[in-house]
Amino acid sequence: MSNEISPDPQLSRRSFLRAAALGIGGTLLVACVPPAPGPSAAGGEQAPAAENAPIIYWSMFGLEEAAQAEAQVARFNEETGKNAIFMSIGWGNVAQKAQVAIEGGSPPDLVSLWSQAYTWGPRGLLLPLEDYAERDGWTGQGWSEPAYEALWSENHLWGTGHTLNMFALHINKGLYEEAGFDPAQPPTDIAALDDMAEKLTTLDADGNLTQLGFLPWQNSNLWHWGWAHGANFYDEENDKILAGSDEHILQALEWFVSYAEKYGIDNIDRFQSGFGRATMSPDDPWYVGKVAAQIDGSWKRSWIPRYAPDLEYIVAKSPTAAGVEPVSLVEIGAMFNVPSGAKNPEGAWELAKEFASKRCQIEFGNLVGDIPPLLEAARDPEFLNSYPYNDQFIEMAESGGRAWPRIPVLELYKDEMNRLVDEVVHGKVQPQDGLDALTQKVQKELDDFRKQTAA
């Protein structure tokens, strides 16, 4: 180092500009290169997996359900000599994590989701499995029909399942009897339901609600009550959204409005926002008697002994409008999907088939109370007697069950329906106008999607 005082190295303006231009230009070039096409669908050039290649399974389950799934996986490994690895991700995280993993190119081999398949599948994030199913003769024989249909969308089979979420009217027996009703005679039609709601709703001296007999959108939605009025939300043949044109949906929506007007929507809002957490907690408004009756899921009966062991309850098939048979959503509780780009799709399919087997279905049903899609498993005494009122649900799985419209814009449809009910019961929009706007919006998205994927 010399002794002279040297000036600070000044980057001349030109050099700086040149370097900056190079940096930004290089970045621009890299940024504007279109993404490389992803891996191809089933049957593409995938090297045959080694005999003991791992089958990575990301599960939505936690706690006891995870423990059971882990045992089922261990048993599968023992019996088949395969190497399935169970990972409990939890239902709060699994969808997001799986999405990122799939798009990032390092997905698990099997993942349990719920209705994501209808949106993800047609967008290329999941592997269609109908070729595997055909090869192995897995036809869903003996399954509840809407349940099996629910595994398919856009002519592709997206996975298997081992449990169904179903819904029925859950009534607080104590309150029901106190009001003078006969527990052996739950309401079966809308009029009886309204009557029960009337008698079981109490107000205090200031006119505030202290107990809600029944409210259509408490723990339920317009889908359920639309179906209960005999509605159809989607015309599969013509690919049309029917929210605006099916009069039954309008009837259901106007029935919602009648409740808002009866008690005053502000009152209802206040009362509802005071409800404790409904999921897996003893503060569920139905447990503590704030709500006398509500539509609830088949899993509730497995939670009651845990969170409200002293509660006496009745489960009845949902009341319906005249001429409509008892109805329930039949939703695949956990769909076992194989992501696009999975390294061991063959192994994943084997595991998915195992989970859908009769014994796994019964085991899960006994733990959670949800209904096995295989009717033979559902009618098996081992499951049938595990919880009270199982037969009510099973009858609906056999007939009267409805599946989601399995369209690629289902998430938007559901979101818009929630918004619609919110706006209509608050008087912000007229029912038919709201339904028309919703139909237009969702139909447009659907049409755009069809156009873009046809290209």
- Where along the sequence are the contacts to another protein (CB under 8 A)? 6, 9-12, 14-15, 23-24, 27-28, 30-32, 34-35, 37-40, 96, 99, 102-103, 119-120, 122-125, 266, 269-274, 340, 409, 411-412, 415, 419, 422-423, 426, 428, 445, 449, 452-453, 455
CB of 269 to another protein, least distance (A): 5
297 vs 339 by CB, closer to another protein: 339
CB-based contact 53:83 (threshold 8 Å)? yes
Residues 6 or more apart from 347 whose CB is under 8 A from it? 49, 53, 54, 55, 82, 83, 84, 109
CB of 426 to another protein, least distance (A): 6
4 vs 79 by CB, closer to another protein: 4
CB of 415 to another protein, least distance (A): 7
CB of 358 to another protein, least distance (A): 34
32 vs 50 by CB, closer to another protein: 32
CB of 103 to another protein, least distance (A): 7
Measured between alpha carbons, how far is 411 from 418 in angstroms, rounded to an integer? 11
CB of 442 to another protein, least distance (A): 11
Measured between alpha carbons, how far is 229 from 404 in angstroms, rounded to an integer? 16
φ, ψ for residue 77, nearest 5 deg: -60, -45
CB of 304 to another protein, least distance (A): 23
Measured between alpha carbons, how far is 27 from 24 in angstroms, rounded to an integer? 5
Tell me the H-state helices in 81-142: 94-104, 116-120, 130-136
39 vs 62 by CB, closer to another protein: 39
23 vs 43 by CB, closer to another protein: 23
Measured between alpha carbons, how far is 71 from 77 in angstroms, rounded to an integer? 10
Q: Is 32 exposed, middle or buried (0-12, 13-18, 19+ CB in 10 A)?
A: exposed
Q: Which of 333, 322, 318 has the alpha carbon at shortest distance from 389?
A: 318
DSSP tag of 257: H
Measured between alpha carbons, how far is 37 from 242 in angstroms, rounded to an integer? 36
Q: Which of 433, 358, 112 has the alpha carbon at shortest distance from 366?
A: 358
Q: What angle do CA 411, 415, 419 make, to 5 degrees?
A: 170
136 vs 283 by CB, closer to another protein: 283
Q: What angle do CA 68, 157, 79 make, to 5 degrees?
A: 35
CB of 376 to another protein, least distance (A): 37
30 vs 47 by CB, closer to another protein: 30
254 vs 422 by CB, closer to another protein: 422
